[in-house]
Amino acid sequence: MRKASSIRFYLFLAAALMWMAVIFFKSAESYQQQSLRPLLSSWLSRNDIAKNLPHWEFTYDHDLVSWQDPIGLIEFFIRKAGHVSEFAILALLWSLALLSKRVNVIMALLTSSLISVLYAVTDEWHQTFVPGRTGHAIDIAVDAVGVALAVLFILICLGLRRWIRRRRVNSLT
């Protein structure tokens, strides 16, 4: 049991570190390299989208996001979903690594959350050195939403596992 736990720890640790490397290398790409506008423009008709989109307009880190630029609006939400998902995956991998050891669940989740949010901070800082990219403090909050969702998912899974085990024990007695 201990050896399996150790192997699991190192596998999830390696996966978390590799995922951090993926985030780092994707953050090193310029905005132009990551732009979804050409792809979205080839798939979607600007006029058709504009008719069906809600008339939303807001500022995000001093930039206007508007329904009047439908491709830009869709790209904005895809990019933010990317932030949430990439840091949810990171927090999940760190949590699984730490939970494979004999540690307190709360401490494992707090530690994985701290590691993930601190990495989000360094990721945004790293982007300030990349030509054509900017680091945004508000994106750290978006990344933290992903971390929180991963922790919530793990807590729900652990709660369900505990509930199933109790039902099995109760059905045996």
Question: Which residue ranges make up each domain of the chain?
Answer: 2-172
Predicted pLDDT at 170: 75
Residue 129: CB partners within 8 Å, gap ≥ 6?
none
Going residue by residue through the chain, which has 173 residues, state the pLDDT in tens, using 9 for 90 and above. 567 678 999 999 999 999 999 999 999 988 778 888 888 888 888 777 877 888 888 888 778 888 888 888 889 999 999 999 999 999 999 999 999 998 899 999 999 999 999 999 999 999 999 988 888 999 999 999 999 999 999 999 999 988 888 887 777 66
The whole-model pTM stands at 0.87
* Cβ-defined contacts of 29-34 (< 8 Å, 24+): 29/130, 29/133, 30/130, 30/131, 30/132, 30/133, 31/132, 31/133, 32/132
Q: Which residues pair with 65 in a beta bridge?
A: 58
Is 71:40 a contact under the CB 8 Å cutoff? yes
Query: How do 57-60 and 63-66 pair as beta strands?
Result: antiparallel
Q: Distance between CA 86 and CA 120 in Å, rounded? A: 10
